[in-house]
Structure 1
Amino acid sequence: MSKFNNQYTRIEDAELCSKQFAKREDEKDALSKLRSEFIIPTKGDLKNKKFDFKQKHGTTSQNNSHDESIYLCGNSLGLQPRRTKEYVNRYLDTWASKGVLGHFTEYEGGLPPWLHIDEAIKEQTAKIVGALPSEVVIMETLTANLHLLMSSFYRPTKDRWKIMIEGKAFPSDHYAVLSQIANHNFDPSALITIEPPSSTSPYLSNEHILSVISQHAATTALVLLPGIQFYSGQFFDIELITRHCHALGIIVGWDLAHAVGNVPLKLHDWNADFAAWCNYKYMNGGPGVIGGAFVHERHGKVERAAGDSNMNNDTQLTYRPRLSGWWGSDKSSRFRMDNNFVPITGASGFQLSNPSALDMTSVMASLDVFSLTTMDALRERSLRLTGYLEARLLRYEGGEAPYTIITPSNPAERGAQISVLLKPGLLDHVLHHLEENDVVVDERKPDVLRIAPAPLYNTFLDVHRFIVIFHEACRKALAKPGGAGEHGKGVPHGTAAT
């Protein structure tokens, strides 16, 4: 059993594992209504090989719940909000009818002009990440933003030149950091990784993280960590780690790809230097859609040089160095073409090119769904959904479970994802059975399933249906010739001893 017991671990098996229990949990949950804001792929959709959707997924259509697939993969790609098609069609109609004038046209009750669409979504974005509106910007994509931000915040000296990351960070973060190091003519040894102390668990305790940072503080210029670790689903203590880095004189940035829209964040209050994220996972903006960035207000100041009393084209400005582009320049002077860069105060001053209005429109559709609730309310629901998933995973019928939960058992140390490490040799068999039964989850070779009940649209019934099929898949995989039964017993939690 989990050492951090939740309300579900105290319920009798017969009740907890019943379909009726899951339905009752959904019925008494006020946020269950948000599911209707999304298009849930049907079983037929998943198996269909012809592009023949037509008007099937209109903004008002509803799927029969019996036909819905079990989609628990919002940590990889969020589902489409119903209003996305409506918003995108408005964008297309504006483009068709206004052409370039769509940049400036104010429609009554319509979407904002493209010139101002980045400003229009700042307030809701700021609420989601716990920032001032001036500290956030929707721009570029995740890795591009990390590069742009590191070009500004990674300022190596002869004493401090190293970058520290988490050893099992997403590969793209490794690539980005190593290329930044190479760009400054340092060799790869300038990369420090925080590795798990145990070879059998990916868990990183706060004590371990802080000790590694302290050990290398004298030579470290930048720490870049994930808010939530993509593989294990561990939620790092951003406030504690940031405070520790700052006490040692180290700049700290955060990759929030798996945290934004998933857990409440307070980037301003936590004093993070910078952060970047994508908007296609829990943020439901669409595959590869435009990303986002945070720059704390203390780093976004644009000030006149000492002794300069006039703010004109010849004014000498002081601001944090950055790679610059015309969309980061003051709007009032943006179209003067005078080659005088006057950065916008705050995160917007880090923009390069004008953002895709199509992407921004898609992100806006999802943000408008988020505006129907709060991150605190979503977090409360997420804790219950994930707690229920954990409790059901721990109640495997028919002997020892052929898997280990590698996500922390402490609810405060995880988001909406639980990662399951299967015994060797089971993954392909289990995945085949899940796919045959219209279940969508994420795999990580060789043996991990990542299961993510997104609180905006997943339900307790989704979790119940998943568990029934998943446990059936495990039993079938074990029964196959060469099954993993001989590889040792499963244990409830991979982090129980850490």
Structure 2
Amino acid sequence: MNYQNTLAFAQEQDQNDPLKHFKARFYAPQVNKRDAIYFCGNSLGLQPKSAQAYLDHEMQNWADLAVEGHFKGDTPWFNYHRLLTASSARVVGALESEVVVMNQLTVNLHLMLVSFYRPEGKRIKVIMEGGAFPSDQYALETQVKFHGFAPEEAIVELFPREGEHTLRTEDILQSIKDCGEELALVLMGGINYYTGQVYDMEAITKAGHEAGAVVGFDLAHAAGNVPLKLHDWNVDFAVWCTYKYLNSGPGGTSGVFVHERHANNPDLPRFAGWWGHDAGVRFQMKKGFIPMPGAEGWQVSNAQILPMAVHRASLELFDEAGMDNLRAKSEKLTGYLEYLIDDVHVGKDVLEVITPRDPKARGCQISMLVKQNARELFNKLMEAGIIVDFREPSVIRVAPTPLYNSFEEVYRFSEILHECLEAVKN
């Protein structure tokens, strides 16, 4: 695409955007009594305007039905999580039986690790990306300790080559091969939260299985961001949150994928709870756990109805928009943003894009390494009504999301970035 650094070009792209009407279906935060330019959906997505009605509906059911709301009304809570199943399966490329919405992200990650990190003999190692999001680091650290291993012995962290910012796929695959018979698990993020790099999940899964290991992904930054094909890629398990690109509110619920070859194995070790027990006899309150078939068998507690109501509102927007359409716009948005950052004349020597240049190798994010006055630049952007994200020591993450961001906002950002770089020059 031949980008142009003009307002007219940006407005023309918006005029021709088939998803442009979705922007009006979200609330925008205010800065200086004006709508902010919100490029922080990689931390917390904006609120869909429809979310309040879905939430109010369940609040009214609670008021009118109280405990009977579990089995009466138009959306009985007993099976409420199933209202989210089909849409969730479409988002992550799974069979409906392979997904369930429950709990929160790191809780679900621990539940998956109980089942899928099963060290035995010399096969104890876990491969993960170096500098992964802290929750993943802490979860794995404590899981390997639980099994009696030292983290430095069991966890293999992968880092980019010297002078590079992202992992090369061939290096990931070679590390898996090198670990060989010592490898029990590969656990990667689908997208690196810091750089925005999309990992080749299909190739990683294939290599992990060839080494005899289980392969799982934390899709916190991938679900709702890039098209996924977890079933077809033969991924063993995955977890994701819903408050980032899936726009389902702070502390929102989480999702789990368990491939069907595992999901119907009642002998697979797990930490059980009554909501994962056979629904047909659940209320008989008898001893002896009988798991529900599919991913539902990993449920522990009853559904979080209010967060799930918000998530339901958001998922309907994703069904309407379609992940392929969102991805097509996302690649254009980040391409335009990259072009404009490169074209900012002042400060070219202080900004470095550390996100992959190939649009297909990144999500809805461009990460800028700021080599001078990084925190000051971030503060100036925020004061000017640009809501972005700062990550220590000196990276500003800019995430234009296709559901509610526009090309004109990307253009305005570049103008304000230029002004802010002028203001913080030494």
> Does the pair score TM above 0.5?
yes
- 2 CA distance for matches of 1:131 and 1:121? 13
- 1:314 corresponds in structure 2 to none
Is 2:200 aligned against 1:237? yes
Q: Secondary structure at the match of 1:269?
A: helix
- 1:345 corresponds in structure 2 to 293
Letter in 2 for 1:449: I
Is 2:105 aligned against 1:105? no
Q: Secondary structure at the match of 1:408?
A: coil
Letter in 2 for 1:123: A
Q: Is the 1:429–1:473 contact (alpha carbons within 8 Å) kept by the matching residues of 2?
A: no
Is 2:172 aligned against 1:218? no
Is 2:75 aligned against 1:128? no
Letter in 1 for 2:68: L
How big is the shift at 1:139?
0.8
Is 2:11 aligned against 1:33? no
- 1:19 corresponds in structure 2 to 7
- 1:63 corresponds in structure 2 to none
How big is the shift at 1:402?
1.7
Question: Which structure 1 residue ranges, 5 or more long, are not aligned?
Answer: 1-6, 46-66, 303-317, 484-498
1:192 aligned to 156, 179, 183, which one?
A: 156
Letter in 2 for 1:361: A
1:219-298 equivalences in 2 (<5 Å): 219-298=182-261
- 2 CA distance for matches of 1:97 and 1:393? 54
How big is the shift at 1:437?
0.9
- 1 CA distance for matches of 2:138 and 2:422? 39
Letter in 1 for 2:120: T
Deviation per residue, 1:119-150 (Å, 9 max, x gap): 11100000000000110010111111110000
CA spacing shift, 1:321–1:398, aligned 2, 3 Å: closer
How big is the shift at 1:440?
0.3
- 2:57 corresponds in structure 1 to 90
Larger radius of gyration: 1
Q: Secondary structure at the match of 1:331?
A: coil
Q: Is the 1:419–1:449 contact (alpha carbons within 8 Å) kept by the matching residues of 2?
A: yes
Is 2:108 aligned against 1:145? yes
Q: Is the 2:91–2:224 contact (alpha carbons within 8 Å) kept by the matching residues of 1?
A: yes
How big is the shift at 1:175?
0.5
- 1:327 corresponds in structure 2 to 275
2:317 aligned to 364, 369, 385, which one?
A: 369
Q: Secondary structure at the match of 1:394?
A: helix
1:397 aligned to 341, 345, 351, which one?
A: 345
Question: Which structure 2 residue ranges, 5 or more long, are not aligned?
Answer: none
How big is the shift at 1:72?
0.3
- 1:492 corresponds in structure 2 to none
1:196-207 equivalences in 2 (<5 Å): 196-198=160-162, 200-207=163-170
Deviation per residue, 1:178-210 (Å, 9 max, x gap): 100000011122111111112x32211111111
Is 2:152 aligned against 1:164? no
Is 2:268 aligned against 1:301? no
RMSD: 1.2
- The structure richer in helix per residue is 2
How big is the shift at 1:400?
3.1
- 1 CA distance for matches of 2:105 and 2:177? 28
Q: Is the 1:37–1:369 contact (alpha carbons within 8 Å) kept by the matching residues of 2?
A: no
- 2:376 corresponds in structure 1 to 429
- 1:493 corresponds in structure 2 to none
- 2:304 corresponds in structure 1 to 356
How big is the shift at 1:44?
4.5
Q: Is the 1:73–1:442 contact (alpha carbons within 8 Å) kept by the matching residues of 2?
A: yes
Is 2:383 aligned against 1:473? no
Letter in 1 for 2:222: A
Deviation per residue, 1:294-331 (Å, 9 max, x gap): 000000114xxxxxxxxxxxxxxx43221100000111
Letter in 2 for 1:289: G
2:364 aligned to 410, 413, 416, which one?
A: 416
1:81 aligned to 44, 48, 59, which one?
A: 48
- 2 CA distance for matches of 1:129 and 1:398? 41
How big is the shift at 1:266?
0.2
Q: TM-score, normalised by structure 1?
A: 0.84
- 2 CA distance for matches of 1:218 and 1:401? 46
- 2:389 corresponds in structure 1 to 442
Deviation per residue, 1:48-84 (Å, 9 max, x gap): xxxxxxxxxxxxxxxxxxx311000000000000001
Q: Is the 1:300–1:319 contact (alpha carbons within 8 Å) kept by the matching residues of 2?
A: no
- 1:454 corresponds in structure 2 to 401
How big is the shift at 1:405?
0.2
Q: Secondary structure at the match of 1:335?
A: helix
Q: Is the 2:130–2:159 contact (alpha carbons within 8 Å) kept by the matching residues of 1?
A: yes
Letter in 2 for 1:365: A
- 2 CA distance for matches of 1:161 and 1:340? 30
List structure 1 segments (4+ residues) > 6 angstroms apart after TM superposition. Answer: none
Q: Is the 2:183–2:211 contact (alpha carbons within 8 Å) kept by the matching residues of 1?
A: no
- 1:72 corresponds in structure 2 to 39
Letter in 2 for 1:41: P
1 or 2 for the larger relative contact order (CA 8 Å, sep ≥6)?
2
Letter in 2 for 1:327: W
Letter in 1 for 2:156: I
How big is the shift at 1:99?
0.3
Q: Percent identity?
A: 45
Q: Is the 1:278–1:289 contact (alpha carbons within 8 Å) kept by the matching residues of 2?
A: yes
Q: Secondary structure at the match of 1:320?
A: coil
Q: TM-score, normalised by structure 2?
A: 0.98
Q: Secondary structure at the match of 2:290?
A: coil
Q: Is the 2:99–2:295 contact (alpha carbons within 8 Å) kept by the matching residues of 1?
A: yes
Letter in 2 for 1:376: D
- 1 CA distance for matches of 2:121 and 2:394? 43
1:209 aligned to 166, 172, 175, which one?
A: 172
Q: Is the 2:37–2:385 contact (alpha carbons within 8 Å) kept by the matching residues of 1?
A: yes
Q: Is the 1:402–1:474 contact (alpha carbons within 8 Å) kept by the matching residues of 2?
A: no
- 1:49 corresponds in structure 2 to none
